[in-house]
Amino acid sequence: MAPVAARAARLLTGRAAVLPALACGGLMALGQAPWNLWYVALAGLVLSMALFALQRRPRAALAIGCGVGTGYFGLALNWLTEPFQVDAAVTAWMAPFALLFMAAGLALFWGLAFWGAVQAPRARLFALVVSWGLAELARGYLFTGFPWGLVGYLWEPTGAIQWVAWTGSFGLTLVTLALAALLARGLCGAWQAGALGLVLVLGLLVGGAQMVPPLQDLGGRPVVRLVQPNAPQTQKWDRAYIPIFFERQVEFTAAPAQDGLPRPELIVWPETAVPRLLENAEGELRVITDAALPGRVVLGIQRSEGYDYFNSLALVTQGPKVEAVYDKHHLVPFGEYMPFKELFRHINVSGIAARAEGGYSAGPGPQLLDLGGEMGYALPLICYEAVFPQDLRGAPRPELLLQITNDAWFGNFSGPYQHLAQARIRAIEQGLPMLRAANTGVSAVIDGAGRVLKSLPLGEAGFIDARLPPPLRVTLYSRTGDLPLLGLLAVLMLLAFRPALHKSRRNSD
């Protein structure tokens, strides 16, 4: 080893490597919205792998992985402090602890991946690609899952994100890790591997850009309207402001069509847009449906059933008649429901985002919503259900994705933009258009290639009218889901750790 490389190896191993690991994780986070610095994020990922390559001891590798993860999640998930500012006098003190504990908890997935990979000494970078890819998949599924900010999302501002239609987001994450490993080997002296990595990164970018389909002809397609009341979370449930925001949405619903379009066939209000429980809201629903004539309305509303409360979406027509109801099933732990809620109820603690004592109850699961006519069937998603790729698969295939959300909880910096980015990725994975109505923004009409055709900016009240894009062809990922990736990871794990297994057997003999 050259003297400079040997000195670097001594300086960047063990405890001395923790701060560089945190910095690498921070660089990786800059690939997420709103920064979208994908090349900086890729550099941070490559440096993280090069740092790992210098480690020899499992404990040191664990520390490096946890350091990279803490730096990454601590910056990328900075919006997690925002919900605690809504009732700042009571909960603001919890904000830094919530971010730290969440970042450290998610970082443990990465730490374990690094710890496992260092024990396959003959192909440690290859083992890290496999174990890190498996860790990201596990993060998306275990303990209800939290696949926010996957490594592969660094490609979101580039054409390379189109590959998710084939691989899914977890698959693109594995590809990204493999490319970074080649580049890291180049940094460590294997220039041929580094050159191959550069060529493949270029191929990923160019190939993805070539996959973007041309804009569709929207002539004659149904017209939809998205309503954005822009109700700050600090005022949304204030009795003095409730009628103001409700009347604002009714006004937007009744307004003449924009851009010379006909009256909308469907009007979409955001999550928890109606200030009453569904069973008590007949008067409000009548006002809404009269304003929407001749269109239908999809709106966010809460409802109760016995002792259970639900965060729901309702399709309402004139009468008023509730045609269909969907109850959110993928709830936010500690936000919309409290694990062990009977225990927490004794100390008067409920979900931060929930209006019901003890939080919401989960609905039965994904279901299709018949919007009627040319619009066909929609798969409804409430708030952060759109961050779960696995929840969007099912038969029969819908004609569109329909998301209602209240991103006021996420603040005005990174959270709403990251949420929008993941909505775009879901549209690409499925090849389906998405209608997205957000309380404070960003409301958007998105086509099946992930293009935002029309949108309302964050923090602005208003509405948009647009024609609904048709669905694209069925994507490979929408057919297969993550099962092929899981099988591939299992095979790669056997290949990566086979030398270590043989060594363990020899030692035991």
- Whole-Å CA distances, 11 to 16, 125, 439: 6, 20, 50
pLDDT tens digits for 394-405?
768 999 999 999
pLDDT value at residue 396: 84
Give residue 12's pLDDT.
72
Distances (CA, A) of 434 to 15, 77, 378: 47, 24, 9
3-state secondary structure of 268: strand
Q: Do 443 and 476 touch, CB atoms closer than 8 A?
A: no
Please report the pLDDT score of residue 19 as a whole number. Answer: 95
List helix spans (H) across 147-190.
164-187
Q: Is the dihedral of CA 106, 80, 239, 244 positive or negative?
A: negative
Radius of gyration of the chain (CA): 24
pLDDT at 373: 84
Residue 507, pLDDT > 70, answer no
- Give the model's pLDDT for residue 333: 75
Using alpha carbons, list the distances in angstroms from residue 83 to 127, 251, 449.
38, 29, 32
* Residue 87: φ, ψ to 5°: -115, 70
* pLDDT of res. 343: 53
Q: For residues 110 and 116, what is the distance between their CA atoms, to the nearest angstrom?
A: 10
With beta carbons less than 8 A apart as the criterion, state whether 274 and 284 touch: yes
Please tell me which residue in 66, 236, 265, 328 is annotated as part of the active site: 328
The answer, yes or no, to whether residue 345 has pLDDT greater than 50, is: yes
- At 7 the pLDDT is 59
Query: 215-265, pLDDT tens digit by residue?
Result: 999 999 999 999 999 999 999 999 999 999 999 999 999 999 999 999 999
Residues above pLDDT 90, as percent of the chain: 81
Residues 145-181 have pLDDT tens digits of: 999 999 999 999 999 999 999 999 999 999 999 999 9
Helices and strands, counts by H and E, the chain: 16, 12
In the chain, the domains with their CATH numbers are 3-212+483-508 (no CATH), 224-329+366-472 (3.60.110.10), 331-363 (no CATH)
Q: What value, to the nearest 5°, has the Cα angle with vertex 336 and ends 140 and 429?
A: 35
CA dihedral of 275, 276, 282, 288, whole degrees rounded to 10: 10
CB hemisphere CA count around 6 (13 angstroms): 3
Region 69-95: mean pLDDT is 93
**Distance, CA of 443 to chain centre:** 16
As a whole number, the mean pLDDT across the chain is 92
Beta-bridged to residue 324, according to DSSP, are: 315
Phi-psi map region of 159: left, alpha, beta (phi>0 left; psi -120 to 50 alpha): alpha
Judge contact between 375 and 409, C-beta under 8 A. Answer: no
The pLDDT value given to residue 87: 86
Higher pLDDT, 352 or 389: 389
Mean pLDDT of 191-210: 98
Q: For residue 166, how many other CB atoms are within 10 A of its CB?
A: 14
Given 336, 383, 399, 429, the catalytic residue: 383
Q: How does residue 353 score in pLDDT terms, banded at 50, 70 and 90?
A: low
Structure tokens at 363: 């609905």
Residue with tokens 């099912």: 394
The Cα 256–Cα 262 span in angstroms is 9
Answer yes or no: 271 catalytic: yes
Would residue 503 show up in a list of annotated catalytic residues for this protein? no
Confidence (pLDDT) at 509: 45
Indicate the SS3 state at residue 495. helix
| pLDDT(130) > 50 | yes
Mean pLDDT of 33-55: 97
User: What pLDDT, on a 0 to 100 scale, did the predictor assign at position 148?
Assistant: 97
Active site residue 357: no
Quickly state the pLDDT bin for 88 (edges 50, 70, 90). Answer: confident
Catalytic residue, candidates 136, 156, 271, 429: 271
